[in-house]
Structure 1
Amino acid sequence: MLASHQTYSNENFDGMDLTRQELKGSRFTRCSFVGARLQELNTESCQFIECNFTSAQLNASTHFRSAFMNSLFWHTNLFMARFEECKMTGSVFEEAQVTGWTPLGGDWSYIHMRHHVLPKTDFSGAKLKEADFYGCNLEMAKFVRADLTRVIFQQARLKGADLREAVVEGIDFTGVNLRGVRMDMLQAVFVARSYGALID
């Protein structure tokens, strides 16, 4: 059993059944949850720093203002998971199951999210500096008012995506198919300049 308002460091929870745990204000540093059952886990204001969730079951879990920083979600089941105002900086979601998940705001800077299928995902208002979406399906995704500074969109499918009012500085749009992408006028000017256009 895990407890709220506790500190855990370098502990091994591999394969444990932690279903429906309620955690508040706990801190985990370099802990391992490989293959752990964490379905319907509910965290609030918790910190998971450099933790390993490889092949863990986090489906239907909910997280409010928690942090998962520089953590590994390799083959992790995040089906229907909900992250509200969470800090996910530097985490790797290699081959994770993210169908039906809900990211609500928060800081997703420097995440590794390559080749994921994320149509209609709503990242509105989120901080996504230097996030790697290489090869992702982001059709109809929403990035309204998000911070997309230096985000990687190469080989991504963005048809119908909404980037209005998002920060797009530093993005290399060359080679990115922008057909059907919704942008505001200032963004359109920035994209044109990235292609070498001279705008008077």
Structure 2
Amino acid sequence: MDIARLVSEQGEFDGVDLSGVALTDLLQKGPLVFRDCDLTGADLTEASLVEAVFEGCVLDRADFRRADLDGARFTRGGGTGARFGGAELTDAVFTGVDLSSADFVNALLTDVSFTGCRMIGAKLSGCRGTGYALSGSNLTMADLSGCGFRGQAIDGVRFDEANLAACDFTKAVLTDCRLIRAHLVDAKFAQADLRGTDLGELDDTALRHLRGAVIDRFQAAAILTARGLTVL
């Protein structure tokens, strides 16, 4: 198969093996659609992928650095170690995608949504833009240091052992989330609603980092019980 000719002539790809291919200079203009394609190690650096669609694609080590992915849609599929550093991702949508160890450092994330995604060990520190929405996603051991969630509603997200240093959760509402052993140094939780969130076992240092947050009486009782007090 002549991959270069195929890519230059088509705007839709179904089940095509594009692993390791340097695609940036081959792609035609206009919205592109990739369905069930293998993009393992594919080079898409600085590619124009505005409103592109990726459905069920393998994205292991795919390189999207500095690509224009405004309005792009990623559904299902995914892989380990995809790189989005410096990419433009305004209005991009990720649904049910495996983004484990993905690197979004210095990417422009404005009105981006991550829903039902596996983002274990992902790196989102240093992102630019007005932010992104998280729901139903696993960010265990992810690096979100310095990220802003002010006033956001965050539902069903696991932040276990995540680096949340200097994150801003001011007035955020966390529902059915987990913060077990998360790193909270210099994080802001003023008026954040953490009722119903699993906080795990909190030492005195972690409690200080949660200063200003709202918790329920059951969480408060668990904290006091862990310190040897009896709550009636």
Q: Which runs of 5+ in 1 are unaligned?
A: none
State yes or no: 1:190 paired with 2:229: no
The correspondence for 1:20, drawn from 40, 46, 51, is 51
Contact 1:173 1:191 (8 Å CA) reproduced: no
**Corresponding residue SS for 2:218:** helix
**Amino acid of the structure 1 residue aligned with 2:177:** A
Task: Give the root-mean-square deviation of aligned CA atoms.
Answer: 1.8
Q: For residue 30 of structure 1, report the CA deviation from its aligned partner.
A: 1.0
**Amino acid of the structure 1 residue aligned with 2:212:** G
Q: Which residue of structure 1 aligns with residue 15 of structure 2? A: none
**Amino acid of the structure 2 residue aligned with 1:187:** Q
Contact 2:102 2:121 (8 Å CA) reproduced: yes
Q: For residue 78 of structure 1, report the CA deviation from its aligned partner.
A: 1.1
Matching of residues 57-72 of structure 1 within 5 Å: 57-72=88-103
> Hey, what's the Cα distance between the residues in 1 that align with 2:57 and 2:38?
6
Q: For residue 173 of structure 1, report the CA deviation from its aligned partner.
A: 4.7
Q: For residue 177 of structure 1, report the CA deviation from its aligned partner.
A: 4.3
Residues 130, 34 of structure 1: CA spacing in aligned structure 2 closer, same or farther, 3 A cutoff?
same
Larger radius of gyration: 2
Contact 1:152 1:171 (8 Å CA) reproduced: no
Q: For residue 152 of structure 1, report the CA deviation from its aligned partner.
A: 1.5
Matching of residues 51-62 of structure 1 within 5 Å: 51-62=82-93
The correspondence for 1:106, drawn from 129, 132, 137, is 137
> Hey, what's the Cα distance between the residues in 1 that align with 2:218 and 2:184?
19
> Hey, what's the Cα distance between the residues in 1 that align with 2:229 and 2:111?
45
After the TM superposition, which of the residue ranges 127-136 and 166-175 deviates more from structure 2? 166-175
**Amino acid of the structure 2 residue aligned with 1:184:** D
Q: Which residue of structure 2 aligns with residue 37 of structure 1? A: 68
Q: For residue 7 of structure 1, report the CA deviation from its aligned partner.
A: 1.1
TM-score (norm 1): 0.90
**Corresponding residue SS for 1:83:** strand
> Hey, what's the Cα distance between the residues in 2 that align with 1:106 and 1:17?
28
**Amino acid of the structure 2 residue aligned with 1:182:** V
Q: Which residue of structure 2 aligns with residue 126 of structure 1? A: 157
**Amino acid of the structure 2 residue aligned with 1:199:** L
After the TM superposition, which of the residue ranges 108-117 and 34-43 deviates more from structure 2? 108-117
> Hey, what's the Cα distance between the residues in 2 that align with 1:123 and 1:169?
18
After the TM superposition, which of the residue ranges 8-17 and 165-174 deviates more from structure 2? 165-174
Higher helix share: 2
CA deviations 1:5-62 (Å, max 9, x no partner) are 0112222111110111112111111121111111100111121420111100111111
Residues 146, 173 of structure 1: CA spacing in aligned structure 2 closer, same or farther, 3 A cutoff?
farther
Q: For residue 86 of structure 1, report the CA deviation from its aligned partner.
A: 1.3
TM-score (norm 2): 0.79
How many pairs does the alignment contain? 198
Contact 2:131 2:148 (8 Å CA) reproduced: no
State yes or no: 1:81 paired with 2:147: no
